[in-house]
Amino acid sequence: MSVLLTGFEPFDGASVNPSWEAARRVPGVRAVQVPCAFGASLECLRAAVQEHDPAVVVCVGQAGGRPDVTVERVAVNLDDARIPDNAGRRPIDEQVVRGGPAAYFATLPVKACVAAARTAGVAASVSHSAGTFVCNHLFYGLMHLIATERPEIRGGFVHVPFAPAQVLDQGAPSMPVATAAEALTAIVAAAVSVNGDLRLVGGSLH
């Protein structure tokens, strides 16, 4: 099964984004870097889906402050930016897709993905909020594309913590990029092979 992973370019003044650094280290997948911008990130994703025709799409982003890898379950139809994106846009209370449903669920087996990352030795959990910035925007756009045009694709979103070098003076949690890449590798394997999902308790709103 062909797998497309996306990671983001750096944003908010950072010089790296661990989502891209981890995604590009995952073996056997297509990895594409997308801009950290409303609109442009989705256009880039759409072009990559068209070009590579994947069976599974996992978009990856940085969630600074979270201590573990989080597999997102819900994308909401809301752009509400705390900071400007890399194109200088800062939408407030806008819809990702005008008239679209309020939310979509990931079609990855999220609990099995979390279990796979943990089996690989990496801390992971289910998350019920991907925020309202560019990550949620891309996640919602992916799920809308799947719902309306490409129902055969399994898709979802994973957040990874800061890389250690980003938080040397901040006292914030971090995870080495190689560790995040191991988690993504395990998550992709579960996304490809698991039918249905595991019935396990899990998930937080942060």
Active site residues: 72, 135, 159
| Nearer to ligand PCA among residue 37 and residue 115 (C-beta) | 37
Name which of 115 and 163 has its Cβ closer to ligand PCA: 163
Q: How would you label 34-72 residue by residue, b for 16+ Cβ within 10 Å and e otherwise?
A: bbbbbbbbbebbeebbeeeebebbbbbbbbbebebbbbb
Cβ proximity of 61 and 162 under 8 Å: no
Binding residues with ligand PCA: total (CB under 6 A):
12
Residue, CB closest to ligand PCA: 135
Residues of this chain, 48-77, that bind ligand PCA according to CB under 6 A: 61-63
Range 7-36, binding ligand PCA (CB under 6 A): 8, 11, 17, 19, 36
HEC secondary structure over 74-112: EEECCECCCCCCCCCCCCCCECCCCCCCCEEECCCCHHH
Judged by CB under 6 A, does residue 175 bind ligand PCA?
no
Q: Which of 38, 104, 133, 162 binds ligand PCA (CB under 6 A)?
A: 133
The tokens for 63 are: 């969630």
CB of 77 to ligand PCA, least distance (A): 15
Helix (H, G, I), strand (E, B) or coil at 188: helix
Site residues, ligand PCA (CB under 6 A) = 8, 11, 17, 19, 36, 61-63, 131, 133-135
